[in-house]
């Protein structure tokens, strides 16, 4: 019935109050375990690419909040690690080859959109080639 010590035991995944401290709720640690829906054989050959750190913050959120949703929707696992310089991040995509390419394309598309919005916000103009590919960022006159 009651807990003799008066302390309630936390269920798995719940936020718990620290035993001593300022009374703020603590987030549970992130668990990096292969989801039940992900085949083991798809962990062998990741697709690795790099992205600027500020773009990764825009795409995945500052604390990688959106990453679990992207993984679930795409059925791919992603690993986002900061490179030593801190200016860029290494993104590894685990999954079937077609899914890896699709996820990379979607992430790079989002990154390009954020670059264009940033350029437009800073009074810059995007130069587009006839094929629709951005070629440079030029000052607007």
pLDDT (tens digit per residue) in 58-67 = 999 888 888 8
Please tell me the predicted confidence (pLDDT) of residue 14.
41
Residue 60, token pair as written in the block = 């995945």
- What residue spans define the domains of the chain? 40-139
Residue range 40-139 in CATH 3.30.300.30: no
Residue 75, token pair as written in the block = 């059925």
Q: Are 92 and 57 in contact (CB under 8 A)?
A: no
88 contact partners, CB below 8 Å, separation of at least 6 = 50, 51, 52, 53, 82
pTM of the full predicted structure?
0.62
pLDDT digits (tens, 9 = 90+) for 45-92: 999 999 999 999 999 988 888 888 889 889 899 999 998 888 999 999
CA distance linking residue 105 with residue 12, whole number of Å: 35
Three-state DSSP state, 48: strand
Q: H or E element: which one contains 88?
A: strand 88-94
Please tell me the predicted confidence (pLDDT) of residue 125.
53
List the beta bridge partners of residue 127: 136
């Amino acid at each position: 019935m009651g807990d003799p010590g008066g302390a309630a035991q936390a269920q798995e995944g719940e936020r718990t109050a620290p035993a001593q401290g300022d009374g703020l709720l603590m987030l549970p640690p992130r668990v990096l375990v292969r989801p039940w829906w992900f085949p083991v054989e798809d962990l062998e050959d990741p697709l690795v690419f790099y992205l600027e750190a500020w773009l990764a913050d825009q795409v995945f959120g500052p604390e990688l909040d959106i990453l679990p949703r992207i993984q679930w929707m795409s059925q791919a696992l992603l690993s986002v690690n900061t490179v030593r310089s801190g200016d860029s991040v290494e993104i590894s995509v685990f999954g079937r080859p077609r899914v890896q390419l699709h996820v990379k394309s979607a992430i790079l598309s989002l990154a390009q959109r954020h670059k264009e919005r940033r350029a437009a916000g800073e009074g810059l103009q995007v130069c587009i080639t006839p094929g629709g590919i951005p070629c440079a960022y030029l000052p607007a006159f």
